[in-house]
């Protein structure tokens, strides 16, 4: 089965621009999570979807970040406008149900100049 | 809140050396504990897990035992290989299912 895929693998944009990251979970996985790792620090939770509903968005840093999962399939994470501190690696993960391990994608490295 | 603390790296070892990467946690409930590994250029992969006290998770020669009395989940391997070079993340999942990670420990194994 195909794993979790993320697009793009690397994005370089200027401060103030908009960037949209995409995550395709494993087929059939209702749970989808976004995490990010900033500057070699710990990986931090951003939010959790169950199908198309936001189950927990307590980790979203501010209202410049918008996550969607229309139709309960793939998800997008938009950053608008991007700031320097948004640089980092954004990971997506999915699981079949909350008791199962989360499977991670390769991440999107976001660089804000 | 819940947290995970793991030893800073990098950890540098020669091939066939014994590996220990320390991990301790703080949690209000009874969390599940995980070790994830990130090989160069790849995403995070689940290495092993333990869901209750005294459970031992194992995979690819790596082991970790859930120690409730010391709130620890140290990762060990008896004989490391160059191919084990990666970043290792300790993590927990408590009553909700989001993962809380440590800062990661880079392991470098030289021939």
The per-residue pLDDT for range A6-27, each reduced to its tens digit, is 999 999 999 999 999 999 999 9
| Residues in chain B, total | 111
Edge-to-edge strand list for the sheet holding B62-65: B19-21, B75-77, B62-65, B56-59
Q: Residue A4 and residue B43: Cβ atoms within 8 Å?
A: yes
CA-based nearest residue to B88, from B98, B76, B72: B76
Q: How many CA atoms lie within 13 A of A6 on its CB side?
A: 28
Q: Which of residues 15-44 of B touch A (CB under 8 A)?
A: 34, 36, 41-44
CB atoms within 10 A of CB A37: 22
- Tell whether A31 is within 8 A of chain B (Cβ): yes
Show Cβ contacts of residue A71 under 8 Å, excluding neighbours closer than 6 positions.
A52
Q: Which of residues 80-109 of A touch B (CB under 8 A)?
A: 91, 93, 95, 98-99, 101-107
B95 pLDDT higher than 80: no
The partner residue sitting opposite B97, judged by closest CB among A42, A44, A98, is A98
Res B86: pLDDT:
97
What's phi and psi for B27, nearest 5 deg? -150, 145
Q: Residue A45 and residue B98: Cβ atoms within 8 Å?
A: yes
- Tell whether B46 is within 8 A of chain A (Cβ): yes
Lookup: tokens for A38: 């900033």
- pLDDT tens-digit series, residues B29-72: 889 999 999 999 888 999 999 999 999 999 999 999 999 999 99
- Which of A31, A42, A91 to probe the B interface (max B CBs under 10 A)? A42
CA-based nearest residue to A56, from A45, A64, A65: A45
Per the CB < 8 A criterion, the answer to whether A57 and A47 are in contact is yes
Nearest CA-CA distance, residue B41 and chain A, Å: 8
Q: What percent of chain B has pLDDT over 90?
A: 86
Lookup: tokens for B103: 């800062």
């Amino acid at each position: 089965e195909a794993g979790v895929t993320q697009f793009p693998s690397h994005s370089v944009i200027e401060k103030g621009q908009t960037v949209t990251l995409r995550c395709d979970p494993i087929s059939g996985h209702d749970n989808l999570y976004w995490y990010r790792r900033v500057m070699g620090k710990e990986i931090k939770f951003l939010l959790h979807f169950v199908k198309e509903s936001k189950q927990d968005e307590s980790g979203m840093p501010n209202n410049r970040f918008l996550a969607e999962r229309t139709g309960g399939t793939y998800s997008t994470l938009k950053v608008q406008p991007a700031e320097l501190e948004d640089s980092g690696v954004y990971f997506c993960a999915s699981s079949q149900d909350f008791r199962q391990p989360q499977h991670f994608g390769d991440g999107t490295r976001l660089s804000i100049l | 809140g819940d947290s995970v603390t793991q030893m800073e790296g990098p950890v540098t070892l020669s091939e066939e050396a014994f590996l220990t990467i320390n991990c301790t946690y703080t949690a209000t409930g009874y969390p599940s504990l995980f070790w994830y590994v990130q090989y160069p250029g790849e995403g995070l992969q689940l290495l092993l897990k333990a869901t209750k006290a005294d459970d031992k998770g194992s995979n690819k020669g790596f082991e970790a035992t859930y120690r409730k009395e010391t709130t620890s989940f140290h990762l060990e391997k008896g004989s490391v290989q160059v191919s084990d070079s990666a970043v290792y993340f300790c993590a927990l999942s408590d009553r909700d299912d989001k993962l809380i990670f440590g800062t990661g420990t880079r392991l470098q194994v030289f021939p």
